[in-house]
Each structure stands twice: as structure tokens, then as C-alpha cells.
Structure 1
Amino acid sequence: MSRSIDYGNLMHRAMRTLIRQVLDEVSEHGLPGEHHFFITFDTLHPDAQMADWLSDRYPEEMTIVVQHWFDNLVVDDDGFAITLNFGDRPEPLYIPYDAIRTFVDPSVEFGLRFESQDDEDDEDLEAAPMAEDVEPEAEEAAGPKDAEVVSLDSFRK
């Protein structure tokens, strides 16, 4: 029997622990300075919770923005709960860490991408800012329209 070290899964767990620690700090003390987050997650994850109209609108993945207005940020071992404002409509969400696909803090050019088993890329994890993300919070505030793509290339060095 051959034994090996599963670096990919170890990195995923370590990076999800990092996300938990960051969110825990924010839940206790708020966002420091210019920090803010783009978090893309799998809306089909069995433990993800959101309003039906949001899951209908984002049937596979959704990117949330944690920046100016958020409430009820509660962090636990498996994920986090947060209430976000979608066009003056506060909506509670629960996002398991296992559902997170990307976590980006553009204020410090930090980002994580969690690759799934079916992705073509052989790398399990990429630690770099994401090129594009959908920003539903800003989209909802501007009124109903198709998803807006936000380029994060300007945050790269």
C-alpha cells in the first residue's frame, strides 16, 4: 500500500481556515481601512442558504461583496452567515467554506481560487487575484439588469 501526502487538500483546508480567521476578525471588529471582499460561491452546494429569488437568479454561482453594508456576520466551523443589501432589500445568506470558489481582497491584491475536481487545471489552488467577478450587490443597487462583470486587473501589480 502506497501512502502519500495530499498537498492539495491540505492547502484547501489551510486556506479555508485563513478565510474563517479573517471573517472572524471582521465579525468582531469590522472591516479595517480599505479592506473589502469579493466572495464567489457555489449556490448549488447543499448547505448554502439564500432566498429563492437569489438562487433562481444565480443558479450555479454568485459573487457577493462584503464592503459598505453588511450585518449579522456570524462565523462558525463550517461556514458563515451574513445579511447583505440587494437594492434596499436585506437578505440573509449562509455560505459554507466548502462552497467558496474565490476569495479576493482587492485592497491588498490578495486572492484565492479553489479549483474543483472537474476543472481542467491540474492545480488545486491558485493564490492570485481573480480576473473577473460578478458583483450582484452593486448590480441590484443599480436596478434590474443582466449581470455586470467587474474586472479586477487594475488591482494587479
Structure 2
Amino acid sequence: MSHSIDYGKLMHQAMRGLIQQVLEDVEQNGLPGAHHFFITFDTTHPLAQLADWLKQRYPSEMTVVMQHWYENLDVTDDGFSVTLNFGDQPEPLYIPYDAIKTFVDPSVEFGLRFESADAEDEDDEDPTPPEDDPTPDHPHHDAEVVSLDKFRK
């Protein structure tokens, strides 16, 4: 009878529990100080909910920013819903914790990255969507998709 402890799975559960605790605090008290989050998630996750136009634009993953403008944050045991602003268009999202790939708070240089079993195969590809051109035709909005490469040292 072979039994082993799956430390990787236990660590992922603990890290997702940490994200839940942080988001529950933000739900109750708002974002303190300069804290803000970059959350990358798998848009193909069966329980993820996002507008069709966002799913078409980001067919595999997307990074959202929770900073100045967000509404309707509702944190549950399985995930969270939030309304973010995309080009002056509020869009509700539901992100299951299991769909989260990275969770970063650059204000304190904190980040979590969730590796999947096939992550090594994905390393050969660039899953980051192209960034919008920051020209006057593409103004900055409160919620945007960004590349986390900007924040890596």
C-alpha cells in the first residue's frame, strides 16, 4: 500500500486560501494604501465567467488589475466576482481560485505563481497577450491587461 503526501497540491490550496483571505479583507475594508493586484487567470477554466468579447480577445489567459476602480467584489470559498472597467465599459467577471495562474501585489513586491503539470510545455510558448499600444488613440484605463514581465527583476 503506497501512500504519499502531495505537498504541491497542499501548497496550492494554502496559497489559494491566502488569496481568499486577502480578497475578503479588501471586500470588507477596501484596498489599503498603495496595494493593488495583478491577477492572471485561465479564461478557458469551465467556471470562469467573462464577457464574450473578452474571451475572444484573450482566448487562453488574461491579466486584470484591481486598483483604483472596481465594484461588486464578492468573495466566496470557490472564487470571487468583481466588476472592472474596460475602456469605460464596466464588465462583471467571476474568477475561480483554481483558474488563477499568478497573483501579484507590486506595491510590496509580493507574488504567487501556480504551476500546472503541463507548464513546462507552455514555457516554449508566449502565452502573454500583446499589449495595447500606449498612444493617444489607446488611453490608459483603470482595468487593463498587462504583461507581468515588466515587474520581474
Q: Which stretches in structure 1 are left out of the alignment for 5+ residues?
A: 122-132
Q: Which stretches in structure 2 are left out of the alignment for 5+ residues?
A: 122-127
- Separation in 1 of the partners of 2:129 and 2:13? 25
Residue 100 of structure 1 aligns with which residue? 100
Contact 1:38 1:103 in 2 (8 A): yes
Residue 29 of structure 1 aligns with which residue? 29
Contact 2:131 2:147 in 1 (8 A): no
**Aligned CA-pair RMSD:** 2.6
Residue 126 of structure 1 aligns with which residue? none
How many residues are aligned here? 140
Which fold has the larger relative contact order, with Cα–Cα distance below 8 Å and residues 6 or more apart in sequence?
A: 2
Scaled by the length of structure 2, the TM-score of the pair is 0.83
Alignment of 1:117-156 (within 5 A): 117-120=117-120, 142=139, 149=147, 151-153=150-152, 156=153
Scaled by the length of structure 1, the TM-score of the pair is 0.81
Alignment of 1:8-157 (within 5 A): 8-120=8-120, 142=139, 149=147, 151-153=150-152, 156=153
- Separation in 2 of the partners of 1:152 and 1:60? 21
Contact 1:86 1:136 in 2 (8 A): no
- Separation in 2 of the partners of 1:103 and 1:2? 35
Contact 1:64 1:135 in 2 (8 A): no
What is the SS of the residue equivalent to 2:92? strand
Give, as a single letter, the amino acid of the residue that structure 1 aligns with 2:12: H
Higher strand share: 1
- Separation in 1 of the partners of 2:33 and 2:112? 20
Contact 2:58 2:129 in 1 (8 A): no
Q: 1:40 to 1:118 in 2, by over 3 A?
A: same
